[in-house]
Chains A and B, each alone.
Chain A
Amino acid sequence: MTDPTSPSQEIVLETHDLTVAYDKKPVLYGIDVSIAPGQLVGIMGPNGAGKSTLIKAIMGLLEPAGGWIQIFGESNKSQRKRVAYVPQRREVDWDFPVTVMDVVLMGRYGHLGLFKRPGKRDRDIAMEALEKVNMIPYAGRQISNLSGGQQQRVFLARALAQESDLYLMDEPFVGVDAATESTIIDLLQDLRSQGKTILVVHHDLPTARQYFDSLILLNMRLVAYGPVEEVFQEELLQRAYGGRLTILSEVADATGEKSKVDLSAKR
């Protein structure tokens, strides 16, 4: 089942009845998704819908209160080498004494483990990653001397250097300039055409339609999941964005707000 040479047969990411709680209050409730390789998936929903939480849970940074997550058929924590996570930009101290190259090289540390030093191959991979995001001229710069878009691209390069198969990104387009945004989307589409899978938490509805192959609509529960044209229906969007679903009113929710489309047959 987990045969890496035939990616089109395996499911990259599968969650079943995934529930994540924060201090006994559910933030995500009963999420079922099944994602095939080579997809650019957008995760959308209002503030507080649990989008970042979903990503963090998939990454193994949060423990689910219920349900399970599988990546390439194995437990998510065991697959860390195959998953790259690009968090939101603001969590870092920009005055930290590291250069752009130092940060991108950190993407290789997962493969190196605790004690090995980066070798030539690692550096080459890092340089390639920088090239893909058009940041080679900045390789020696300390990270505070960069614009917002450039900083985002550095984080992206770090993720690329990990050489993963599944990419999870939390709002990569927030606060970046148009040039960076188009660099990023080109990069993501390039990754997709290589058979990689990318999940992107996104906030902007109009562009979501252009950028993604499929969408996950979240509002603590899964409102919809499927190809972008099918999901982009007024009724579904309304359900996701207009007024919150109270997760406790089970009875009222009973009429299948989940529309799960199995994409494993696609491509």
Chain B
Amino acid sequence: MTPKFRHSPPFLALLIFMFAMPSEAHAAKISELVEVDLGDQFVRFFSLQDAAIRHILLGCLFMGINFGLLGSFVVVRRMALVGDTLSHAVLPGVAVGFLFTMSKEPWAILLGATMAGLLGAATVSWIQRSTRLKQDAALGMVLASFFAVGICLIKMIERIPSVNKSGLDHFFYGQAAALGRADLWMMGGTAVLSTIIVVLLYRPLLATSFDQVFARSIGLPERMLFHVLMLLLALAIVVALQAVGALMVSAMLITPATTAFLLTKRMHVMLCLATGLAIAAGMLGAFLSFVGEGLVSHALPTGPSMALCAGGFFLLAFLFSPHHGLVFRYRRHLSQTRQITVENTLKAIYRAMESDRFKEEGIAVRRLAGDARETFEETMTRLRLLVRDGLATFASTRGEVIYLTPEGLQHASRVVRNHRLWELYLTNEADYDADHVHADAEKVEHILGEDQVMELERYLDYPEQDPHGKRIPSLRDTQRLPLRDLAVKEEEVEP
């Protein structure tokens, strides 16, 4: 794209660049330590020989703690995008902090940025509470308007002839001296602060995150806790920004916490997992960008690698999480469908046998297909499921007649029993019409547990016939009764 307009002044471009692509020079630092062998590199990296690497890993540790803990609360409160908003909203604060001291004093900038962040968070909250606008609109507006103000302030600062602006560059680029000791102190400090507060105030934070209204009703200082959370978040974001850039913030704040969310159902476990994942993603990302040096011979930015590692963990959890993972849910779904098919087939066979008054042992497959109005092949597919489960077998040679095994008969009786009891209940108690009852019973019977069925039977006072006059297998019947006894019972029911 050939620019139609004159290039923006270098400083401004750098500034914006920073917000988009952090740590280029950061990676450049790592690139001085080029090795070839992966194993060697691994050792070199993790043996912590180089100060720069030590600093990076320490930085990952602190940032992981901050973002793991705070990110968890942000995610469960459904405020994930607040990280992005805050990381842009701090800009005017940086400018004001700088203006205040007219120098590159890090504490002034840190203070200014944090105040701006807090103001941004407060504004978001205020907009939500005082208008119809929802959180998304509030976040977007604060993000863009604060950022715009920041840009103008920075532009104005640029014009000041005498001021030493190099510090400002340094602050934004962050990485010029890689992670210096000052940076680490600040990161460590905020990490410690976050840990202390989250540990001390865990239960109130949990209660207010889960149910604000209830928390207020029991007298918990819900607003104050929210502001504390925002303060910690603003601090964490500001120190992370100056170390690794704005891109990172959203990714590392949200992704490890969401990954943890998929893996556990307890909040305190989620906090620990999120922290661990954030630290791991950071370190792994740093390592990969370190390694990537050798491969690509070009600076690999650490920011995106860390983000993508976090994303990789998320993907794994998304697919393979035991409770919520896509893979496991799909398999559960398949197995449920299968079970329903098996039970319905058993019922069909039972009914066929019943209409022959249990005289015949086996039922012709073609007959079942006719009853179910499907093709021979389709019925065979279903029957094979039964055979695989040991519930039925085919006649020896021609495979055209199906016999229930004792287990199969038992299971079939049970399913039929459930179905008929439930039908009776619906007819009597829920005033269902006898001919409508069948389809609904179909759906429910597969999920009735044994306790519920016995309860049902007791409630209906041990009935013997269903709404269509068919015999309801009793509990004993479902316990391995040989076929001939069933035939006898059939006789008894006849008037």
1/0 per residue, CB under 8 A from A, across B199-239: the answer is 01101101101110111111111000000000000000000
With A85-B217, A96-B210, A109-B218 already in contact, the answer to whether A114 and B266 are too (CB < 8 A) is no
CB pair A109 B76 closer than 8 Å: no
Residues of A with C-beta under 8 A to B219: 80-81, 110
Q: Cα distance A60–B210 when bound, in Å?
A: 20
Q: What residue of chain B has the Cβ atom nearest to residue A77's Cβ?
A: B219
C-alpha spacing A142/B262, complex, angstroms:
13
Please state if A114 and B211 are interface contacts (CB–CB under 8 Å): no
Using CB atoms, name the residue of chain A closest to B263.
Answer: A97
Binds B, one of A2-10, A34-42, A86-94, A233-241: A86-94
A61 touches B76 (CB 8 A): no
Q: Is B332 interfacial (CB 8 A cutoff)?
A: no
Smallest Cβ-Cβ distance to A96: which chain B residue: B210
The answer, yes or no, to whether A103 is at the interface (CB within 8 Å) is: yes
The verdict on A112 contacting chain B, using a C-beta distance below 8 Å, is: yes
**Chain A contacts for B211, CB-based, 8 A:** 87, 91-92, 106
Residue in A83, A84, A114 whose Cβ sees the most chain B Cβ within 10 Å: A114
A-B contacts at CB below 8 angstroms, number: 76
Are A106 and B200 neighbours in the complex by a CB distance under 8 Å?
no
At the interface, yes or no: B6 with Cβ under 8 Å from chain A? no
A83, A106, A107, A158: residue with the most chain B Cβ atoms closer than 10 Å = A106
A70: Cβ under 8 A from any B Cβ: no
Given A109-B207, A115-B200; A97-B267 close (CB under 8 Å) = yes
Q: Once the chains are docked, how many angstroms separate the CA of A83 from the CA of B210? A: 20
Closest residue of chain A to B323 (Cβ to Cβ) is A142
Quick one: which of B214, B221, B261, B265 contacts A106, CB cutoff 8 A?
Answer: B214
Q: Of B201, B206, B269, which one neighbours A114 at CB under 8 angstroms? A: B201
Most chain A CB within a 10 A radius of its CB, from B213, B218, B265, B270: B218
CA A16 – CA B214 in complex, angstroms? Answer: 25
**In the assembled complex, which residues on chain A have CB atoms less than 8 Å from the CB atom of B220?**
109-110, 114
Contact B266 A98 (CB under 8 A): yes
A150 at the interface (CB under 8 A from B): no
Q: In the assembled complex, how far is the CB of residue B64 from the closest CB belonging to chain A, in whole angstroms?
A: 20
Contact (Cβ within 8 A) A99 B218: no
Q: In residues 170-206 of chain B, which contact A (Cβ within 8 Å)?
A: 200-201, 203-204, 206
Q: Size range of the interface on A?
A: 20 to 34
With A93-B78, A97-B266, A142-B265 as contacts: A114 and B204 at CB distance below 8 Å: yes
Chain A CB within 8 A of B41 CB: no
Interface residue? A12 (CB, 8 A): no
Report yes or no: B265 in contact with A87, Cβ–Cβ below 8 A: no
Residues from chain B with a CB closer than 8 A to the CB of A87 are 211, 213-214, 217
Q: Is the CB of A93 within 8 A of B217?
A: no
Scan B446-477; emit 1 where CB is below 8 A from any A CB, else 0. 00000000000000000000000000000000
- Residues facing B in A105-132 (CB within 8 A) are 106-107, 109-110, 112, 114-115, 117-118
Interface residue? B427 (CB, 8 A): no
Q: Does B264 sit within 8 A of A, measured CB to CB?
A: yes
Q: Nearest residue in B to A92 (C-beta to C-beta)?
A: B211
Residues of chain B with a CB closer than 8 A to A158's CB: 214
* Beta-carbon contact of A106 and B217 below 8 Å: no
| A106–B218 CA distance with the chains assembled, in angstroms | 10
**What secondary structure prevails in chain A residues at the interface with B?**
mixed
Identify which of B213, B217, B221, B266 gathers the most chain A CB atoms within 10 Å of its CB. B217
Contact B265 A99 (CB under 8 A): yes
CB of A201 within 8 Å of the partner chain = no
Q: Does A162 contact B (CB under 8 A)?
A: yes
Q: Measured between alpha carbons, how far is A92 from B264 in the docked complex, in Å?
A: 19
Cβ of A59 within 8 Å of any chain B Cβ, yes or no, is yes
Does the CB pair A93–B218 fall under 8 Å?
no
Among candidates B206, B217, B265, B269, residue contacting A59 with C-beta atoms closer than 8 Å: B217
In whole angstroms, how far apart are the Cα atoms of A80 and B213 in the complex?
13
B359 CB, min distance to chain A CBs, angstroms? 44
Determine if A98 and B213 form an interchain contact, defined as CB atoms under 8 angstroms apart. no
Q: How far is the CA of A60 from the CA of B219 in the complex (A)?
A: 10
Shortest Cβ gap from A74 to chain B (Å): 14
Contact check, A92 vs B200: say whether CB atoms are below 8 A apart: no
Q: Is the Cβ of A97 less than 8 Å from the Cβ of B265? A: yes
Closest chain A residue, CB of each to CB of B211: A92
Instruction: A80 to B215: give the CA distance in the assembly, Å.
Output: 11
The answer on a CB contact under 8 Å between A96 and B201 is: no
* Residue of A93, A98, A115, A162 touching B267 (CB-CB under 8 A): A98
Specify which of A81, A92, A99, A109 is in contact with B266 (CB 8 Å cutoff): A99
Q: How far is the CA of A215 from the CA of B307 in the complex (A)?
A: 59
Residues of A with C-beta under 8 A to B217: 59-61, 80, 83-85, 87
Contacts of B221 in A (CB 8 A): 114
**In the complex the two chains form, what is the Cα distance from A156 to B207 in whole Å?**
16
Q: Give the chain A neighbours of B213 by CB distance below 8 A.
A: 61, 85, 87, 91
Which residue of chain B lies nearest to A59 when distances are taken between CB atoms in the complex?
B217
CA separation between A124 and B267, bound complex, in Å?
A: 22
How many Å from the CB of A182 to the closest CB on chain B?
15
| Given A96-B76, A109-B203, A162 and B218 contact (CB-CB distance below 8 Å) | yes
CB-CB nearest in chain A for B216:
A61
Which residue of B has the minimal Cβ distance to A164? B218
B259 vs chain A, min Cβ distance (A): 13
B264: which A residues are within 8 A, CB to CB? Answer: 97
A9 to chain B, nearest CB (A): 27
Q: What residues of B have a CB within 8 angstroms of the CB of A98 in the complex?
A: 206, 210, 265-267
B219 to chain A, nearest CB (A): 4
Cα–Cα distance between A1 and B79 once the two chains are bound (Å): 47
A-B contacts, 10 listed (Cβ < 8 Å) = A91-B211, A91-B213, A96-B209, A97-B261, A98-B266, A106-B214, A109-B220, A112-B203, A114-B204, A114-B220
6 further contact pairs, Cβ within 8 A, besides A102-B266, A109-B220 = A60-B217, A91-B211, A97-B270, A98-B210, A106-B203, A110-B219
